A and B are shown apart, each in its own frame.
Chain A
Amino acid sequence: MKTVGGKVYISADMEGVTGVVSIDDVLAGHLNYERFRRLMTRDVNAAVEGVLEAGASEVLVNDSHGGMTNILLEELHPSATLISGVNKPLYMMEGVDQSFDCALFVGYHSMVGGRGVLSHTFSGASRVLLNGRPTSEGEVNAMIAGSMGVPVTMASGDQYAVSELKEVLGELEGAVVKYAIDRSSARCLHPSITRGLIREAARKGYMKAKNTKPYTVRSPVTFEFEFLQPSMASRAAYLPFVEQLDSRTVRVSAQDPIEAWRLFWSALLLGRSAEKEPY
């Protein structure tokens, strides 16, 4: 039985952070990156404050963007511990397990093809379907948490990131920190405002943890995804469990959600290794 005083898992991405609208905001070394890694840390801190206020005592934050060394540890809320760095098998959900009361998604973005700020679903694919429906990183990650009995109860990002997740998860506290106009523009709320929105959503999200069902998907779990280029799909098909459906589309399937994630993720990574940039 989960009780007050428990643990919260936070997966923090960057495209849905307060004020972010451009690639230059989220790529290490680019013009505005240093500013936005600080704002990312502040969005995460707001969520930590919210769950602590609601009675949680332990927070694990997983830096889930790019090289995954974005969050400033020295500015992170002292009650949180931080997973940073790459080569994590569960990637944006590394470290999640049955011991958490709930998981929160901070700085999330909408799915590939969508109108949200910097929309994508992992990279390398122009379309990703989970059990036949277009999916987002948020839904895939909610499935991973759900398979361990952990419900996702709060998300922050633009209006599309939040509404997409609400649509699949039902119960979810959303903190809309900006309103996308286009994939690279948004009407942004001030950090002093978003801090309150995130903190409040996180607080309510933690309160709801006990009464929220973990997200489950039907078995077998099937990922069907379209690569940007045919050579990427052919490369992915080196793997014996990958079924190639057409020149750019492949499919993997497994009974267990974590196993399906592993098949999907290894096939996507393998395909990406065949990407040739100029063409």
Chain B
Amino acid sequence: MRRVFISVDMEGLTGVVSPNQVLPGRADYERFRGVMLRETNAVIRGAFDGGADGVLVNDSHDGMLNLKIEGLDERAELISGYHKPLSMVQGIDGGFACAFFVGYHSMASGEGVLSHTMTGIVSRAYLNGVPASEGVINAMVAGRFGVPVGLVAGDQYAVSEVHAVCPDARGVVVKRAIDRYSALSESLTRVEEELHRAAEEAVKSAESLRVYSPSKPITLTVEFAQSSLAARVLYAPIARRVDGRTIEIVGDDPLDVYMRFRASLSLASTARDPDYG
């Protein structure tokens, strides 16, 4: 068994610095769908060259309809579309040798390109007191199924945040953020080569990769942009309030903590005001 799970986001692709490049319908979106496909195909080729016998790709950005299946490496399967309980790691199970995070970005309030954690209503998130990016949270879910992270690609912040909890993951820094909306990017050809090599190495060394398993009880702390969002989460008995706009989810099972986190974000969004947030 050497299947590889690949979650692909968009803000951490090489060249991406602006919302206009990652939001469907915006001026440069189609170009960067192409880049997304090329980075994805590069890690798929690397995975197979490293000995993988199957690849599952999960489109993990926005409406999750970005990857064009007709351009995808024909050896891979694709999960696309929204409404997935495990969201960016939908499809993960114990049958994978390792997981790759491609096009990932840094956490909310961070200095990386287009930094955020899941949604704009989260102003900060911490997992056991450590700043939690999507990469860190998804690594926890993958770890729950015994799957280690073998590769993470994005800007320098996205990569180092995941490295902090998954030190064995191959990091590919495809660009260096200058600000949340500017970066110095590597050429796409060079990035493809690096991704290919890192993916190949990761699969070859999959047995020795350490699985991320946060210490228990797991505490996921979420600070929202506004107090009414935190108040709305507490309608459901799934979290406790830390202060006006901060809640805390505590549990022993990473999957349970993750599902309560997902429910919290969706519930909070129902209290959002279109003008005042």
Contact = CB atoms under 8 A, between A and B. Distances in A.
Contacts of A262: 235-237
A234 B85 CA distance: 8
Given A238-B259, A240-B238, A262-B236, A270 B270 contact: yes
The A contact surface, by secondary structure, is helix
SS of B interface (majority): helix
Contacts of A266: 235-236, 267
B232 A269 contact: yes
Contacts of B266: 235, 238, 270, 273-274
Nearest to B260: A240
Contact of B236 (A235, A239, A272): A239
Contacts of B123: none
Interface residues on A, range: 20 to 34
Interface in A53-89: 86-87, 89
A231 interface: yes
A267 B271 contact: no
A222 B219 CA distance: 31
B235 A89 contact: yes
Contact of A272 (B83, B234, B263, B270): B270
B85 A269 contact: no
B156 interface: no
Contact of B235 (A235, A237, A238, A265): A265
A270 B238 CA distance: 13
Interface in B237-277: 237-238, 256, 259-260, 262-263, 266-267, 269-271
Interface in A208-267: 231, 234-235, 237-241, 259, 262-263, 265-267
Nearest to A265: B235
A274 B262 CA distance: 12
Given A87-B271, A238-B259, A239-B263, A270 B83 contact: no
Contacts of A274: 83, 266
Given A238-B262, A239-B263, A266-B267, A87 B231 contact: yes
Interface of A: 86-87, 89, 231, 234-235, 237-241, 259, 262-263, 265-267, 269-270, 272-274
25 contacts: A86-B271, A89-B234, A89-B235, A234-B83, A234-B85, A235-B266, A238-B85, A238-B259, A238-B262, A239-B236, A239-B260, A239-B263, A240-B256, A240-B260, A241-B237, A262-B235, A262-B236, A263-B236, A269-B232, A269-B270, A270-B266, A273-B267, A273-B269, A273-B270, A274-B266
